[in-house]
Structure 1
């Protein structure tokens, strides 16, 4: 799998990934889809085979879609996973039941992590340039001006892998993070929990119950494949040997199942929540992702998802630098964009945990009473039900162009220009720095298809109601061609035949048959959108601001002119294959 660099130096891979957990496996799939060579080094002899994470969100499912593994992952999920917070009497005091699907998938899923991780691993077989080496424990890394060399210990001796970049995805004790010399600040609460997983779910009820019981807070989760998880908060003085004893576990479960002794146990394990975020995710040619970069308390189910967000953000940037399209200063935007949201999710999870694990009966009664009162207000109730308390990723620094000033590398969260279209819009919230929606669309080759499957895996410029070729000058179109961006025009489905005849052959014309795209653009005075490969909006503007906005985006990503213009080959997904046959 050797690849010669432009300087004539031999590399074993473009990227070495240390750790075959979810972040590492997803990053390898994304890089493989972008045509890069990857070596994954895993110290274990196989993937971890016991349940860990249990929550998968819509953002992660969009990335699973991007790597073409929906059909292999979907059977291991429970879509639309509802969470109910109950008090010590079993009364529901809060419901989290989001029904939005703006990113193309259900907001929350229960899942079996070992099965999904294995689907990610087996998906790597599609890429000739990607390999996973088990039983390879990285002892050291040597970095020079041109490369990084991972030195791994195996049963057969020492192995050296030379690559352009290394990404450490080896968990919370990450040696890569320690080599970076960065901080890892946060909390490690003294509270311990016992996790109990069983087969042949003895309850059979779906969804999630968080038991805010002051006597002993607990969690009960219905999972795919008839797996049931319980988690019980442990008291000071209860030892690990004591709480994992079958008799002790049976006593904990007597309030939950009629006959605990007959359960088919998968595991009984003690764990402690951690909430920490690294000070930087990159130094030189080495980066960190997933638990190596941040440890998430379990309450919001964001550990697995946060690692996937890291991979989604980092993969296209590595691919861009490796293709020679940008200076490697582009990789500095990885920390700038991801750290703030990772910290926000850690803070929210810690706060939510403190709300649940109250053990003072008087304080717990006050909490329950306050929750009952708040539920009387529809706005407050829907705030929790629709999961609007969860901070969505919003990048204010990075590969962005400010929609007000068209400044490069930054984006204010609100629209403040005094133009009439801006002042009369339905919202002043800027679409720059957040994910674009994924509605279903129509095209000459697609019927009711998800947007991402139609526009492809790389950059896109999307224009409402017109062709990009008609509103952008040739200089901007040439820049977009060098970037490898797809030109996309979206119109009401009634107008699609007209524009398909009027637009040039390089423009993808899509029909908005559901009206959701029209609604999005109607609410925002930004009919031109520059969409990054990770589906975040890099710039959004009026048509006349398009050239300046594109210039600002290219400066923010340290774009190099006259680089390779070949776009990544799309991963062959069932949806893509259907479109190709149409």
Structure 2
């Protein structure tokens, strides 16, 4: 395992903004901060991660990893190291107090290239995220640095931290300067308090006790959500032979019971014959929260992960939602740091992520209500579930995880497919006519949705995932044609300036022909052979033959092939891309886009 650049020495503050210590100061070395630092690093940007602890948290927390997050880990170049610590295709079953299965969550789709759900052990995954930073000469992870102050000077930020020794005593005060700062330090976020934004939502008083057991005494590889009116519980099979149980504590039961082994043994005796012989790895209590910050940005300072939102654990989306934040924010920070885009692009971070997080919190809170029903409510629930399971459509709603809100960006870096208006996108054509609306089996727009990822062939590779072909930046793809056909010389200059890859999706049977035919195109075109028919099926039910994919693999725009020039111009406006040959936009200077904020918030004694 590669060791990251760790620092426990005082950092000398630099006074001139032109000599910043780093590009992005990341506060908190949890999974979100580490993921963000890796995503910046693979795109050539520097980051310094400040962590108050002297080591990473070593007890399991998150246990569910979804296919969207795996795409991000592959982008960061770390999936090969992390995959060994996962269990693919994690099945979850909702059972009642009698052990009867009420609903099964067993999605089989792999539209994004991987099984929809994986079980994982967070501590070992976090260690791989930290180790990944060692690949980047300009990136550091500094333990023992507790942030106590923030200043936003408009064109840079200054982060003040107390350097702590192993005993937690302050040995020095250091300052770190960067272009941006991102608070990823969890629910008790200093950064969020400094920003002064509201943290809206609920924190139910219900307490849960979690216990992780070494050498799984059961061996069931999946997840059981026990909606038992007497005492709701969760039982989860995890990688490396770990079994997790979670038990709800009743209001009259003191929190201290979580440390009482006899009490725990009594709870476990329902599931195992000899609980006293089990080896406990971790034992603690927690309370579910459903909260979200009113804004994820203030000037050059941002929030991500638990600092921006907290959600109950029922659907395993806390870890994944934080990674989605990092995925969304990383490419936008990179675009601004490279000089590709105005800082106004960063406003779309809150616009795009806030609604999806709020929707995910709402679904998780509803799931918790189902789990905690009293006897009569549980009786009604069980019978309703039995009836719904008789209807295939409703049964698949749970089986295929269709109740999980998928991210769809209706505002932000998107272009409406009908009007080609930048900044917003309607989901359907039902309330308007696409002109010309021809030869389409569907009336829904793919704009704002994540693009699929089948395996494909190219001239250089066989059977590779599509992300390996599109790369980690912008791409423009057409079905069945040369994408340069309808692009002007100015369009091609913009494509080259911003590193936009041009792709032609083609049936595998025509790939070699297309490679030869497009060899003399005015710009390089990668011909992608659709070996499974997945790309053909995708375009078959959508009124478009052209898509523009963002660096996070969401569809930014879609249209007919002949609209390529107009679509590209609209994307440039939606993403605040610099269009002038010298790399300067005709709009406001970056330094003028955020007002200085110099107040420093001190941590209470």
Q: Smaller-chain TM-score range?
A: over 0.9
Maintained 8 Å contact 1:439/1:517: yes
Q: Retained in 2: the 8 A contact 1:323–1:563?
A: no
Three-state SS of the structure 1 residue aligned to 2:82 is: helix
Q: Is the 8 A contact 1:42 1:132 kept in 2?
A: yes
What does residue 367 of structure 1 align with? 381
Q: Distance in 1 between matches of 2:27 and 2:450?
A: 28
Counterpart Cα distance in 1 of 2:535 and 2:202:
42
* 1:275–1:297 contact (8 Å) kept in structure 2: yes
> Residue deviations 1:114-142, cap 9 Å, x none?
11111111111111111100001111012
1-structure distance, mates of 2:583, 2:254: 60
Matched, 1:538 2:556: yes
Are 1:469 and 2:484 an aligned pair? Answer: yes
CA-CA distance at 1:457 after TM superposition? 1.1
RMSD of aligned C-alpha atoms?
1.6
Rounded to whole Å, the distance in 1 between the matches of 2:439 and 2:192 is 48
Deviation at 1:473, TM superposition (A): 2.1
Q: 1:128 aligns with which of 137, 153, 168?
A: 137
C-alpha distance in 2, partners of 1:373/1:197? 35
- Per the alignment, residue 265 of structure 1 pairs with 280
Are 1:58 and 2:104 matched, yes or no?
Answer: no
Aligned ranges 1:190-205 → 2 under 5 Å = 190-205=205-220
Which residue among 110, 116, 124 is the counterpart of 2:119? 110
TM-score, normalising length: structure 2:
0.91
1:9 counterpart SS class: helix
* Partner Cα separation in structure 1 for residue 394 and residue 190 of structure 2: 44
2:502 aligns with 487
- Determine the structure 2 residue equivalent to 1:240: 255
**Deviates most, 223-232 or 542-551:** 542-551
| 1:402 and 2:413 correspond | no
Q: Which of 44, 64, 67 is matched with 2:76 structurally?
A: 67
**Cα deviations across residues 71-111 of structure 1 (Å, max 9, x unaligned)?**
11001100000000011110101000000011111100000
Q: Does 1:333 align with 2:351?
A: no
Q: State the secondary structure of the residue aligned to 1:299.
A: coil
Alignment match, 1:146: 155
- Structure 1 residues 130, 563: closer, same or farther in 2, change over 3 A? farther
In structure 1, the residue corresponding to 2:528 is in which secondary structure? strand
TM-superposed deviation, 1:419: 4.7
1:529 aligns with 2:547: yes
| Structure 2 Cα separation of the partners of residues 87 and 564 of structure 1 | 61
What is the aligned partner in structure 1 of residue 167 from structure 2? none
Task: Identify the residue that residue 444 of structure 1 maps to in structure 2.
Answer: 459
Deviations 1:14-35 (A, max 9, x none): 0000000011000000000110
Instruction: Choose which of 381, 391, 394 in structure 2 pairs with 1:377.
Output: 391
Q: Conserved in 1, the CA contact under 8 Å of 2:27 and 2:51?
A: yes
Q: Verify the 8 A CA contact 1:422 1:428 in the aligned structure 2.
A: no
Q: Single out whichever of 555-564 and 433-442 deviates more from structure 2.
A: 555-564
**Which residue of structure 1 lines up, in the alignment, with residue 203 of structure 2?**
188
- Post-superposition Cα deviations, 1:388-412, rounded to whole Å, max 9, x if no partner, equal 1111000011011100111110001
**1:576: which partner in 2?**
none
Mean alpha-carbon deviation: is it higher for 50-59 or for 144-153?
Answer: 144-153
**Contact 1:415–1:422 (CA<8 Å) still a contact in 2?**
no
Q: Offset at 1:475?
A: 2.1
Range moving further from structure 2, 320-329 or 469-478: 469-478
Measure how far apart 1:382 and its partner are. Answer: 0.7
- CA–CA distance in 1 between the matches of 2:218 and 2:412? 47
Give the structure 1 partner of residue 97 of structure 2: 88
Question: Cα deviation per residue 1:305-336 (whole Å; 9 max; x = unaligned)?
Answer: 00000000000000000111111111000000
CA deviation after TM superposition for structure 1 residue 237, in Å: 1.7
Match in the other structure for 1:287: 302
Q: How far is 1:472 from its partner?
A: 2.0
1: CA distance, partners of 2:495 / 2:548: 10
Query: Residue 201 of structure 1 contacts residue 222 of structure 1 at CA under 8 Å; is this kept in 2?
Result: yes
Moved more, 215-224 or 497-506: 497-506
The 3-state SS of whatever aligns with 1:551 is helix
Pick the aligned partner of 1:176 from 191, 197, 220.
191
- 2:418–2:434 Cα contact (<8 Å) kept: no
Asked if the contact 1:193–1:233 (Cα under 8 Å) also holds between the matched residues in 2, the reply is: yes
Q: Distance in 2 between matches of 1:252 and 1:419?
A: 60
CA offsets 1:123-173 (integer angstroms, 9 cap, x no match) = 111111111000011110122121101111113411111100000000001
Q: CA deviation at 1:49?
A: 0.5
Q: CA deviation at 1:8?
A: 7.2
Contact 1:280 1:335 in 2 (8 A): yes
Aligned to 1:572: none
Q: 2:37 aligns with which of 24, 28, 50?
A: 28
The answer to whether structure 1 residue 513 and structure 2 residue 528 are counterparts is: no
User: Aligned pair 1:389/2:403, yes or no?
Assistant: yes
Distance 1:268 1:563, change over 3 A: farther
Paired residue total? 561
- Aligned counterparts of 1:125 and 1:183: Cα–Cα separation in 2: 36
Mapped pair 1:302 → 2:317: yes
CA distance in 2, matches of 1:8, 1:164: 8
Q: Is the 8 A contact 2:200 2:292 kept in 1?
A: yes
Is the alpha carbon distance of 1:383 and 1:76 closer, same or farther for their aligned partners in structure 2, counting shifts above 3 Å? same
Name the TM-score, length of structure 1 as normaliser.
0.94
Q: CA deviation at 1:423?
A: 6.0
Partner of 1:255, secondary structure, is: coil
Question: Is contact 2:51–2:143 with CA below 8 Å preserved after alignment?
Answer: yes
Aligned mates of 1:242, 1:312 — CA distance in 2: 40
Alpha carbons 1:205, 1:222 under 8 Å: kept: yes
Residues 429 and 40 (structure 1), Cα distance of their counterparts in 2 relative to 1, 3 Å cut: same
- Residue 436 of structure 1 and its aligned partner are, at CA, apart by 0.4
Q: Quote how far apart the aligned CAs of 1:479 are.
A: 1.6
Aligned-partner Cα distance in 1 for 2:575–2:435: 31
Change (3 A) 1:255 1:427: same
1:153-168 maps to which residues of 2 (within 5 A)?
153-155=162-164, 156-168=171-183
8 Å Cα contact 2:486/2:563 also seen in 1: no
Bigger drift between 51-60 and 156-165 goes to: 156-165
CA contact (8 A) 1:221 1:230 kept: yes
Ranges in structure 1 where 5+ consecutive residues have no aligned partner = 566-582
Once the two structures are overlaid, the 10-residue window that deviates more, 413-422 or 523-532, is 413-422
In 2, the alpha carbon distance for the partners of 1:180 and 1:554 equals 30
Gaps of 5+ in 2: 6-10, 165-170, 585-605
CA drift at 1:551? 1.4
